[in-house]
Structure 1
Amino acid sequence: MKRNEILTVVYEYDSVSEMTKEEAYLIEKAKEAAMSAYAPYSKFQVGVSVLLANNKIVNGNNQENAAYPSGICAERVAVYYANSKYPDVAVKAIAICAYTNGAFIKFPIPPCGSCRQSLLETETRFNSPIKIILAGAEKILVVNSMKDLLPLHFNSDHLL
């Protein structure tokens, strides 16, 4: 038997004041996006802000549907829109945050499995790592690549 270890480096910040202006701005935009999410069923409003390689910013939020789970997560809303509007531009970073029942969440929320796979596809497509910024009221977590959140991932190499 062979034992392998996978190391994921996660940076933890106590507040946005410790971050770059660019990262703090993305978090602020993600918070704004979350407040306009359509989440009448779960009351869990997720917002994201995506920084593209051309320095454009695209925001998105979750969109629920009475035919649960037909809604779509904020991460995929924003990244798919970005890929549609700017098809040849890589994603540099994404900030993710949420409110529940109108209150900013205490701890950061990571992307769900479907969103992780979609973000990994975007990262792989452009051969460019995506910085993931997960913001909560009590701490902010940052990883430098989607592969850090999905170390044993499925990609196009598995289709050959």
Structure 2
Amino acid sequence: MINHQIKVAFDEYSSLQELDITDRELCLQAVKAMENSHSPYSKFSVGAALKLQSGKIILGSNQENVAYPSGLCAERVALFHWGANHPDDLIESMAVTAHTNEFKLLKPVTSCGSCLQVMAEYEKKQGKPIRVLLYCIDGPVWVINGIENLLPFLFFEDRLA
């Protein structure tokens, strides 16, 4: 038997004010992205902001549908927009935040498994890790370098290429 251990690493900042101006602005852009969230069923708004190598910012928000599987998370809205429109302008970082009036969020919300797998795909495609900032409004910010720290068992099979 072999015992394997996986460790993930991230930095936690107690508030937005601890971040440098670039990261702080990206988190605020994710908040802005939530304005276009269509979340009448869950009442859980999510916003994502991608910062590209050129400095361009791409926004995405969750888009729900009464036929639940037809909706899409904020992260994938932003990432698919990038893939369709800016694939040569590499993603440097991504901020994600959420809000609901139903209860107070006390820590950052992590991305779902489907979003993490899409992030991993685009990270592989661009050959460069994506820095992810998970921002809890009026709370901590988690900064993660590379998707493997969020999804240590990400799916890749190079023979499928």
State the Cα distance separating 1:88 from its structure 2 match. 1.4
SS in 2 for 1:5: coil
State the Cα distance separating 1:104 from its structure 2 match. 6.7
Between 1:29-38 and 1:97-106, the stretch displaced more is 97-106
What is aligned with 1:157? 158
SS in 2 for 1:69: helix
What is aligned with 1:34? 34
TM-score normalised to the size of structure 1? 0.94
What is aligned with 2:96? 96
Q: Does structure 2 conserve the Cα–Cα contact (< 8 Å) formed by 1:35 and 1:99?
A: no
Structure 2 distance, partners of 1:112, 1:80, is 16
Question: Is 1:4 matched up with 2:4?
Answer: yes
Structure 2 distance, partners of 1:38, 1:104, is 20
TM-score normalised to the size of structure 2? 0.93
What is aligned with 1:66? 66
Q: Does structure 2 conserve the Cα–Cα contact (< 8 Å) formed by 1:30 and 1:49?
A: yes
Structure 2 distance, partners of 1:58, 1:41, is 25
Gaps of 5+ in 1: none
Alignment of 1:1-160 (within 5 A): 1-101=1-101, 105-136=105-136, 137-157=138-158, 159=160
State the Cα distance separating 1:31 from its structure 2 match. 0.6
Deviation per residue, 1:81-120 (Å, 9 max, x gap): 0121112122111100001128773210111000000000
Instruction: Kindly provide the amino acid, as one letter, of the partner of residue 140 in structure 1.
Output: V
Deviation per residue, 1:30-78 (Å, 9 max, x gap): 0111132000111000001101112111011000001112100000000
Instruction: Kindly provide the amino acid, as one letter, of the partner of residue 143 in structure 2.
Output: V
Q: Does structure 2 conserve the Cα–Cα contact (< 8 Å) formed by 1:98 and 1:104?
A: no
SS in 2 for 1:79: helix
- State how many pairs are aligned: 160
Structure 1 residues 103 and 29: alpha-carbon distance in aligned structure 2, compared to 1, 3 A threshold: farther
% identical equivalent positions:
38
Structure 1 stretches of at least 4 aligned residues deviating more than 4 Å after TM superposition: none
Aligned-residue RMSD, C-alpha:
1.6
